[in-house]
Structure 1
Amino acid sequence: MITKKIIIYSLFLILSVTSLVHAASDDGTTYANLGNGMKLVLKENHSSPMITSVVFVNAGARYENEKTNGMTHFLEHLLFNGTSTRDRIELNETIKEHGGYINAFTRKDLTAYLVLMPKEYIDTGLAIQADQLFNSALPEDEFPKEKKIVIEEIRKSNDVPSTLADYYFNEVVFEGTPYARTVLGTAEHISSLTRADVIEYYKKYYIPNNMTALIIGDFETERMIETFDRYFGHYEKGKMPKIDLVNFMIPDGRRIEETAIDTKNFHVDLALPAPHYTDPDYYPYYMLVEYLGSGESSPLTKHIEDKGLASSIYSSLETQRDFSMLRISATTDSEKNARAVIWEVEKILSNPEFLTPSYDAFRGMIVSKKTQEIYLREKLHYYGFIIAPMMVSTGYEFVETLVDSLENVEQAEMAEVASKYFSDIKYVGTLVKPAEFEEDEVLSAGITETKKVTFDNGLEVIIKQSPDSRVLAVNIFGKNRAAMEPPGKDGITDFLNRMLEKGTENYDKETLSEKLANIGAQLTVTDNPYIPYDDRYTSKQYAFVKFETIDEYASEGLELLSEMMIRPALDSAEVENVRREMMAALGMASASTYQTARNSFYEMMFGPNHAFSKVPLGTQRSIATISADNLKAYHKRFYAPNNMIMTVCTNLEAEWVLSRLQKTFGQMQQVSLGKIEIPAPDTPTGIVKSNTPMDKEQVYIYLGAPTIGINHPDYAALDVATEILSSRLGLELREVQGLAYSVGAGLSTAPDFGWFLVTMGTGTDNYQVAYDGIMAEIDKIRDAAVSEDELRRAINSIWGSSLTRQLSRINQAYYMTFYEFMGPGYDYKDEYIEKVKGVTIDDVLRAARTYLPSEDYYLATVGLR
């Protein structure tokens, strides 16, 4: 929807920008074309002093063949190995040393390259991004190393049962099309790739007229177009690659293909026909898919998950350039239930009554889509990741107007579309089984200000008011999580958190879900166990509850949050549903080398009776024993007001928010908690080892030792030393030797102590070399001073990571709560960064020699060494 054309905007631009035309839409998005055909989409966002540039290349598995499968992703890796003017280290570390972030990802239809920079360094970021895309050297001596890294990534992927189930689904459903191929390819494919093949592919697809850049952040559009043209505009356009139409249709009938893999669960996936995004039916169909999997009140949840037939089930609408497809996926615990899931899906889709939402549920879905878009836009780098597939398939204007188009959908249109597509149900699906199994009135704030108060009942409340965003974000910590769990009830905190959204004393689950949807609320009570390594926020020290809505719904949102926190229903039927959900998550965790190594490490370091040796999710034995009465008793203690810290980030006046919280949370009764002490772990004498055999393609390594915590005066110096070590490990063991897809060092902290960690996944045949390499790098940083360049890069990397983590209001609230809990205070972030910036080379050497282990440490490994 273009409202004006800007032909001439300054004499300077006429002279310097070749054939550049751009236009602005009503929502402030500007679309521009450089003279070489490169497309720009620009969106100003001044809430944070950061700018992200995401360049999408029309290259992916769709454009490969059987011989070259995996080449696009392999090329993505190679583009981080240096250009004709910058070596690998300069390419990657220059971004970090300026506080930025650089990354890339490959999908079946696209490859995306991202830089996120503080606005004062965006020129540096764009110069490197353009150089990377158009001038990569693809050095032949890097090929063996990168092949090893990608093969390690393939191995890691092949160790995840849900990924293998997804691969099988794509092979069956997309047979005969490019979408049947994986993005990663196979180890055999990667091993056989030649430099000549890769260069040919690179020159064919990496041309400016085959690229689109999405630029979001704190900039002035006219100046950014000029800047972008300076770095990208002089590269010549090329001959556009031919894009063959993908003819994909779901045939008549209902077909299920089956296979068996190394998994503990049963995976059901169904593919059903859906309208193309240009079809008027697309929007009501989209709403239908949203309703099918819209949460606690959705048909799939009510008729399948709540009946205990599946531990999880969801629906998604896959929108590609040439076709659309409805996918319904479920995870369950038996073949009987898997087949019952398929039968129930058929029953739901063929019954109009099940597919007709109430008016409130219908409007709630619209509000949810609108508010989710607002939340997502705060996270500049994630926004590009999330919208990438649809944007490349449909164009940005379609994505930008999607919510407005959905808002015009009528309930009757949903019914018509359901009748049209599901009157004669047809699908292709897969059933993946275990290889061996047994059957069974609001005021806005104009200034930035932060207040901290403690209510009479002991609740600590921190409120940051600022006019930079419409989001109202609330983060709550329940303190001393593992220490407060009763004996034999490990995981009860996680259980309780999952129960918070299952209904309250005043609202049943469906009503609560609708009310949350009606205000576009986003509630997060656990990390996602279905995303590998998504446990950034999970801690043995506290439990978190994150709640987001927008300021216009603040009153309703705070009332609903208080309902869930103060008066959860905790009824027996929902307890059983959550128990099944947790058992499934525990089953997945038991197959993970990463999680098994982590659990083994903590049990060794803290000892079997220490709170921190507990697994946050619990064990299958402990979860099996938890009752509704246990949860009710635990809720009164764990979420007592004097055991909570609450942080609110909002555009509203702090006094107004405080008055609302006082009427709800302020009326809670304080309880006697007693003194809770968390003893520091003992430093071992020598190397304490543990190995858990597991028949996987990788060995996972957890190596570490106790050290100082965040309140120690040397912590900033140790943090910088650890950042330098982590960078060296990545450079030497990943980039040079190709031993791992991921390797790194880090610090974890409690208020009074901390611990140092190195983690790495590597092939079974690489274990000894990897272990020796880790110890060599630790010894090196203890024995010799670091360079000025390394110090600067590490400091700016910590600074940039801090900025990136706190782009969104909800993460700002989380980290303010974190610092308050740890002891330095909610406003410690900026003070800590200043401490980091003051670290010297001598400080790093002293911290490394004093606190990094060389002879006394714990070593946990999982796999066949």
Structure 2
Amino acid sequence: MKRIVIIAVLFIYANIFANTGKLNLTKGMEKYRLPNGMTVVLKRDSSSPLVGLAVLYRVGFRNEQKGKSGLTHLLEHMMFKGTKRYGKGEIAKTLHSVGAEFNAFTSYDKTVYWEVLPSDSLELAMDIEADRMQNSLLDPKEFEKEKQVVLSELNMHEGNPMVKLRHAMYKKAFGDHPFAWDYGFIDEVKNASRDYVYNELYKKYYVPNNATVFVVGNYDAREVKKLINRYFGKLKRNPRFKQSKVKPIKWNLGETVRLKGVASENFGNILFKLPAANINDDDYIALSFLEWSNMLGGFYYWDTPDGGVGYLGFSKEPDYPAESLSDAFIKKNLADFKARVINRERMDYDSISSIMMSLVWLESKFGAEHYAELIKKMNALSSDKLIAVVHK
């Protein structure tokens, strides 16, 4: 039986770090944990004079409360607004002064801050990240100013017919579940309280025992470990911290949403109920292969701890997987698509940032150390298994 929840008339584009099939990705990788609970992932690559630093916090839309959507994204903005040591604007100014590229993003289950910069400036980036993990001010005046910036972003997005459709789809499909909230609702961000964001999000989730630090690039391993201990090892863990329990995505199946918008032609998306990220689930492996290999064109798999959502774009009329991907095609071409997944690292393993973000994505799902196991299971997929999953 096809588990379909929504047919919509405009294509929704979602960008996520999912295409990460790199055999060398975890070669030589080291992963360990500090006494304060922070996880460390190191990957040396001497092919570039640069180094990347990223800090992953396991907090995102799924951790927000009803009526308080969009606040993890607002907090992300505020993390650039200063600490006791780095005043307003000084974080960006300092990073720019050493030629760094830097940014941050918030998604359903994580918030990530990252920098790519010359190797001799790594200590500076560590100092900034460690400082703002526990000493960000969230100044009330700056909070109100930044709230207007986020509201401006939301208003701009709400003017986009595709975003309107996405919100309508999510509301119909997921009701009051956090998956439906996306980057938040305008009224709820407008009413956001600085004290709530500071105490219930920042102080609760921005703690070392809810964080993973990544260092990727050209560095001396012994020196990097000393720096990590110096800057991150001294941070105090939150002994009362407990990660949010799994919140199974609740689906309203069999629904349809239609909206009129400005477009050159009709486009749409079908949402499918799929399994959560689980490397021990054979269906998850097969579905991930379909996405990574692009065997099923237009298919995207948002695999979260709370369940999976599959997207399949179409134009004019929907084509279901079993209709657009024939059994004969799978049997004939499976080996070629496996080779595509396995060999794509030659094209993708091309920059410090892409390597680092791939590790961030893998670690956030089931642990970067399981990468080789994932590829092995994809390579062992039979055509019969793939056909069964497509029909399912």
Q: What TM-score, normalized by structure 1, do the two folds share? A: 0.40
Cα RMSD (Å) of the superposition?
2.5
Q: Aligned residue for 1:195?
A: 194
Greater relative contact order: 1 or 2 (C-alpha under 8 angstroms, separation 6 or more)? 2
The residue identity in structure 2 corresponding to 1:70 is G
Q: CA deviation at 1:67?
A: 2.1
Q: Aligned residue for 2:384?
A: 412
Q: CA deviation at 1:42?
A: 0.9
Matched, 1:348 2:323: yes
Q: Aligned residue for 2:175?
A: 175
The residue identity in structure 2 corresponding to 1:280 is D
Q: Distance in 1 between matches of 2:216 and 2:259?
A: 44
Q: Aligned residue for 1:244?
A: 245
In structure 1, the residue corresponding to 2:282 is in which secondary structure? coil
Q: Report Cα offsets for 1:183-206 as digits up to 9, x if no partner.
A: 2x2332222112211111210111
Q: Aligned residue for 2:214?
A: 214
Q: Report Cα offsets for 1:540-575 as digits up to 9, x if no partner.
A: xxxxxxxxxxxxxxxxxxxxxxxxxxxxxxxxxxxx
Q: Aligned residue for 1:269?
A: 269
CA contact (8 A) 1:285 1:417 kept: yes
Q: CA deviation at 1:36?
A: 0.4
Q: Distance in 2 between matches of 1:287 and 1:50?
A: 32
CA contact (8 A) 1:76 1:104 kept: yes
Q: Distance in 2 between matches of 1:389 and 1:164?
A: 27
Q: CA deviation at 1:209?
A: 0.4
Q: CA deviation at 1:249?
A: 5.9
Structure 1 residues 346, 40: closer, same or farther in 2, change over 3 A?
Answer: closer
CA contact (8 A) 1:116 1:125 kept: no
Structure 1 residues 153, 400: closer, same or farther in 2, change over 3 A?
Answer: farther
Q: Report Cα offsets for 1:194-247 as digits up to 9, x if no partner.
A: 221111121011110001122211113333122112111111111223412222
CA contact (8 A) 1:109 1:389 kept: no
Matched, 1:322 2:306: yes
The residue identity in structure 1 corresponding to 2:288 is Y
Q: Aligned residue for 2:288?
A: 286
Q: Report Cα offsets for 1:419-445 as digits up to 9, x if no partner.
A: 5x1xxxxxxxxxxxxxxxxxxxxxxxx
Identity between Structure 1 and Structure 2 (%): 22
Q: Aligned residue for 1:376?
A: 348
Q: Aligned residue for 1:395?
A: 367
Q: Distance in 2 between matches of 1:374 and 1:219?
A: 23
Q: Distance in 1 between matches of 2:65 and 2:234?
A: 32
Q: CA deviation at 1:283?
A: 1.9
The residue identity in structure 2 corresponding to 1:348 is E
CA contact (8 A) 1:288 1:418 kept: no
Q: What TM-score, normalized by structure 2, do the two folds share? A: 0.84
Q: Report Cα offsets for 1:402-428 as digits up to 9, x if no partner.
A: 323312222232234335x1xxxxxxx
Q: Aligned residue for 1:70?
A: 70
Alignment size in residue pairs: 364
Q: CA deviation at 1:114?
A: 0.5
Q: Distance in 2 between matches of 1:144 and 1:318?
A: 33
Structure 1 residues 175, 267: closer, same or farther in 2, change over 3 A?
Answer: farther
CA contact (8 A) 1:41 1:213 kept: yes
Q: Report Cα offsets for 1:353-398 as digits up to 9, x if no partner.
A: 45x242xx32332232233334333222244445645531322223
The residue identity in structure 1 corresponding to 2:303 is T
* Structure of larger gyration radius: 1
Q: CA deviation at 1:52?
A: 0.6
CA contact (8 A) 2:26 2:43 kept: no
In structure 2, the residue corresponding to 1:240 is in which secondary structure? coil
Q: Note the 1:593-612 alignment, pairs <5 A.
A: none
Q: Aligned residue for 1:477?
A: none
Q: Distance in 1 between matches of 2:77 and 2:120?
A: 28
Q: Distance in 2 between matches of 1:180 and 1:84?
A: 36
CA contact (8 A) 1:275 1:285 kept: no
Q: Distance in 2 between matches of 1:27 and 1:347?
A: 37
Q: CA deviation at 1:261?
A: 4.3
In structure 2, the residue corresponding to 1:378 is in which secondary structure? coil
Structure 1 residues 159, 409: closer, same or farther in 2, change over 3 A?
Answer: same
Q: Distance in 2 between matches of 1:369 and 1:376?
A: 11
Q: Distance in 1 between matches of 2:124 and 2:321?
A: 55
CA contact (8 A) 2:58 2:109 kept: yes
The residue identity in structure 1 corresponding to 2:327 is P
In structure 1, the residue corresponding to 2:256 is in which secondary structure? strand
Q: Distance in 2 between matches of 1:325 and 1:143?
A: 33
Q: CA deviation at 1:109?
A: 0.8
Q: CA deviation at 1:102?
A: 2.2
Structure 1 residues 57, 347: closer, same or farther in 2, change over 3 A?
Answer: closer
Q: Distance in 1 between matches of 2:132 and 2:86?
A: 9
Q: Report Cα offsets for 1:149-177 as digits up to 9, x if no partner.
A: 11111122223332332232222222232
Unaligned runs of 5+ in 2: 1-24
Matched, 1:365 2:340: no
CA contact (8 A) 2:61 2:107 kept: yes
Structure 1 residues 167, 409: closer, same or farther in 2, change over 3 A?
Answer: same
Q: Note the 1:753-768 alignment, pairs <5 A.
A: none
The residue identity in structure 2 corresponding to 1:244 is K
The residue identity in structure 2 corresponding to 1:321 is P
Q: Distance in 1 between matches of 2:372 and 2:244?
A: 25
Q: CA deviation at 1:93?
A: 0.9
Q: Distance in 2 between matches of 1:150 and 1:164?
A: 17
Q: Report Cα offsets for 1:502-558 as digits up to 9, x if no partner.
A: xxxxxxxxxxxxxxxxxxxxxxxxxxxxxxxxxxxxxxxxxxxxxxxxxxxxxxxxx
Q: Distance in 2 between matches of 1:246 and 1:199?
A: 23
Q: Distance in 2 between matches of 1:57 and 1:26?
A: 21
- Tell me which moved more, 190-199 or 25-34: 25-34
